[in-house]
Structure 1
Amino acid sequence: MSPISEQIRLRVREKAKNQCGYCRSLQKYVLGILEIEHIIPKAAGGSDNEENLWLACRLCNSYKGTQTKAKDPATNQDVQLFNPRRQKWTQHFVWTNDSTHIAGLTACGRATVLALQLNNPYAVAVRQAWVSAGWHPPTEDVEDSSA
């Protein structure tokens, strides 16, 4: 399969508004380039089609790995992970603890928070600094207009 074209990369970055689809970290505050991630990993049958691509920070992308499902801690049921291209972040997550932690509002949200370790100590420490600087939380919700 051919590599993802620069045009597709730019369109994905624009649609995602230069923001991680999971933890919502903004590119302008993240050390390192936000990565083009496969919502359905190639190892799980996903493709390089634009509809399967979104932005993720390195931490979220590395914790996600090849996962597509995870257990909801409230029901112990396997559920699909959050799809930032098709689902609205604010319907599945909320900021807590002075905007330093992400809480899941739905089974999908709760499972994603745990599977992607959205409240890992590094992310929380950085969010605390961003809150202090007035840079966080992001106020604009991102969703694909084609969804």
Structure 2
Amino acid sequence: MRARQRKRRDLLRARAGYACEYCRVTETLMGGRLTEDHIIPLNASGTDDLDNLCWCCWWCNVYKGSQTTARTPRSGAIVRLFHPRRNRWETHFRWSRNGLRILGRTMMGRATVEALRMNDPDRMATRRFWVIHRVHPRDTS
């Protein structure tokens, strides 16, 4: 990796607090580094500017793919996905009382939870481990 790329990656990691900017899993909990995501994909006129990049986990990166919009589960309306540079996580999401699920507070939040499959069974099983061992991101931030 070239020095410029390494510097950009280090900036992204630090800005994100070493956690996925979508689901909040930390690098420590994942057991390794996360990856960069083009919030607006390059094939949809996105850029490599830092304002269009976020740090995210493998799951969120794969499930998001090139999506920028998704349907809300309740109404089926098409809305923009959560944009970590423009939107505040706390405005659009919250943790369930038991810490296993991420709940959408807004149409954008609910559509993002569904599109990125933030509550699939494997992810919830992982969060159960976090809760049991008191290492859940909501408890450590």
TM-score by length of 1: 0.88
Runs of 4+ in structure 1 over 2 Å off: 137-141
In structure 1, C-alpha distance between the alignment counterparts of 2:139 and 2:90, rounded to whole Å = 10
TM-score by length of 2: 0.92
Residue segments in structure 2 that go unaligned for 5+ positions in a row: none
SS at match of 1:94: strand
Residue segments in structure 1 that go unaligned for 5+ positions in a row: 142-147
Larger helix share, 1 or 2:
2
In structure 1, C-alpha distance between the alignment counterparts of 2:90 and 2:137, rounded to whole Å = 12
Is 1:49 the counterpart of 2:49? The answer is yes
In structure 2, C-alpha distance between the alignment counterparts of 1:63 and 1:97, rounded to whole Å = 25
Segment of structure 1 superposing worse, 79-88 or 55-64: 79-88
1:45 Cα deviation from its structure 2 partner: 1.5
Overall identity of the aligned pairs, in %: 41
Residue pairs, 1:32-111, within 5 angstroms: 32-111=32-111
Aligned length: 139
In structure 2, C-alpha distance between the alignment counterparts of 1:103 and 1:138, rounded to whole Å = 13
Task: State the match for 1:30 in structure 2.
Answer: 30
1:74 Cα deviation from its structure 2 partner: 2.2
The 8 Å contact of residues 99 and 137 in structure 1, kept in 2 or not, is answered as: no
The 8 Å contact of residues 70 and 78 in structure 1, kept in 2 or not, is answered as: yes
Deviations 1:5-58 (A, max 9, x none): 221111111110101011100111103320011100112121111111111100
What's the RMSD between the two structures over aligned residues? 1.7
Q: Which structure is higher in RCO with an 8 Å CA cutoff and minimum separation 6?
A: 1
